[in-house]
Amino acid sequence: MTVNTSEQTRVGVDPRPVVKHGDDGTWTVSGSRCTRCARAIAYQWPRCPGCAGEVHPEDFVGIGVVWSRTTIHIAVGDHVPPYTVAYVDLDNGPRVLAQASGETVDVGARVRLVGLTSSGDPHVEEVRR
């Protein structure tokens, strides 16, 4: 089984969510929602990890709020330090881990998904008002 990211990856090997680019230019996270408890899940699971209910596929808008973030100052894989990662609570969905543009994205900042990094990680940037 494969998922649709910037490169084909086997499910269970790559922990990153599936990110899709829509015809309208927006980016979304393709996941699931539980029919029993309504939990939003950033992945295509066969059952809800919270209540074991049935799930249905759902795409989640790539806009949300930074829940937590950190700047990493060591090289990990192909990532060149320093780089910032953030947990983002998507407006209509789950919390996802993404690489953030710059080191100044604060907790509580509004961000939007702008694609995938060269390493295939979800990439967000702050929404400027």
Distance of alpha carbon 54 from alpha carbon 51, whole angstroms: 9
Instruction: Sketch out the chain's domains with CATH numbers.
Output: 2-126 (2.40.50.840)
Q: What is the pLDDT of residue 3?
A: 39
| pLDDT value at residue 79 | 85
- Locate the DSSP E strands across 1-129: 2-3, 9-10, 18-21, 27-34, 40-41, 55-61, 63-72, 83-90, 95-100, 110-116, 122-126
This prediction has a pTM of: 0.83
- Count H helices and E strands in the chain, helices first: 0, 11
List, for the chain, all residue ranges whose pLDDT scores fall below the cut of 50. 1-10
Indicate the average pLDDT of the chain: 87
Give the single-character DSSP code of 79: B
Per-residue confidence (pLDDT) for residue 13, from 0 to 100: 62
